[in-house]
Amino acid sequence: MASTESQSPYFVVLGAGVIGLSTALTIRDKFPASKILIVAKHFPGDYHVEYCSPWAGANWCSSANDNGLLESFDRVTFGRFQTISQDHPEAGIQSSALRMIYDQKIEDAGILSKGTEKVWYDDLAGGLVPVAGDELPQGAVFGLDIPSTFVINTQVYLQWLLAKCRTAEVQLVRQVVETVDQAFISPEVTAVFNCTGLGSYSLGGVNDKEMYPTRGQTVLVEQPIQPLKRMYFRSPRRVDKDTTYVFQRPLAGGIVLGGCRDDGNWDGKVNLDFAKDIMKRCCALAPELGKPEDLKVIKHGVGLRPNRKGGPRIEIEKRQTGFVVHNYGASGAGYQASW
Ligand X SMILES: Cc1cc2nc3c(=O)[nH]c(=O)nc-3n(C[C@H](O)[C@H](O)[C@H](O)COP(=O)(O)OP(=O)(O)OC[C@H]3O[C@@H](n4cnc5c(N)ncnc54)[C@H](O)[C@@H]3O)c2cc1C
253 is a contact residue toward ligand X (CB under 6 A): no
Instruction: Name the region of 239 (left: φ>0; alpha: ψ -120 to 50; beta: rest).
Output: beta
174 is in an annotated binding site: no
The rounded distance, in Å, linking the Cα atoms of 255 and 282 is: 11
Q: Smallest distance, Å, CB 1 to ligand X?
A: 23
Q: Smallest distance, Å, CB 29 to ligand X?
A: 18
Q: Smallest distance, Å, CB 300 to ligand X?
A: 11
Nearer to ligand X, 118 or 300 (CB): 300
Nearer to ligand X, 177 or 283 (CB): 177
Nearer to ligand X, 123 or 178 (CB): 178
- Is the bond preceding residue 259 a cis peptide, omega within 30 degrees? yes
150 is a contact residue toward ligand X (CB under 6 A): no
Range 53-82, binding ligand X (CB under 6 A):
53, 55-59
126 is in an annotated binding site: no
324 is a contact residue toward ligand X (CB under 6 A): no
The rounded distance, in Å, linking the Cα atoms of 180 and 259 is: 33
13 is a contact residue toward ligand X (CB under 6 A): no
215 is in an annotated binding site: no
319 is in an annotated binding site: no
On whether the CB atoms of residues 267 and 215 are closer than 8 A, the answer is yes
24 is a contact residue toward ligand X (CB under 6 A): no
23 is a contact residue toward ligand X (CB under 6 A): no
Contact code string over 275-314 relative to ligand X, x by CB under 6 A:
----------------------------x-xx--------
The rounded distance, in Å, linking the Cα atoms of 175 and 39 is: 6
Contact code string over 192-231 relative to ligand X, x by CB under 6 A:
---xxxxx---x------------x-x-------------
The rounded distance, in Å, linking the Cα atoms of 81 and 263 is: 29
Q: Tell me the number of residues near ligand X by CB under 6 A.
A: 41
Cβ-Cβ contacts under 8 Å for 139 (sequence gap 6 or more): 103
Taking each helix axis from N to C terminus, what angle separates 18-30 and 154-167, rounded to the nearest 10 degrees?
30
177 is in an annotated binding site: yes
Task: Give whole-number Cα distances, 317 to 179, 181, 223, 244, 325, in Å.
Answer: 14, 12, 46, 38, 6
On whether the CB atoms of residues 93 and 133 are closer than 8 A, the answer is no
Q: Of 45, 60, 129, whose CA–CA distance to 339 is shortest?
A: 60
Q: Smallest distance, Å, CB 160 to ligand X?
A: 15
259 is a contact residue toward ligand X (CB under 6 A): yes
Q: Give the full edge-to-edge strand order of the sheet including 313-319.
A: 171-174, 35-40, 10-14, 191-194, 322-328, 313-319
Nearer to ligand X, 41 or 118 (CB): 41
How many CA atoms does the CB half-sphere of 1 hold within 13 Å? 12
Across the strands, what pairs with 171?
37
258 is a contact residue toward ligand X (CB under 6 A): yes
Of 28, 35, 42, 75, the one binding ligand X (CB under 6 A) is 42
Nearer to ligand X, 322 or 334 (CB): 334
Q: Tell me the binding residues for FAD.
A: 177, 196
- Residues of this chain that bind ligand X (CB under 6 A): 14-20, 40-42, 51-53, 55-59, 176-177, 195-199, 203, 216, 218, 258-259, 303, 305-306, 328, 330-336
- Binding residues are 177, 196, 245, 305, 332
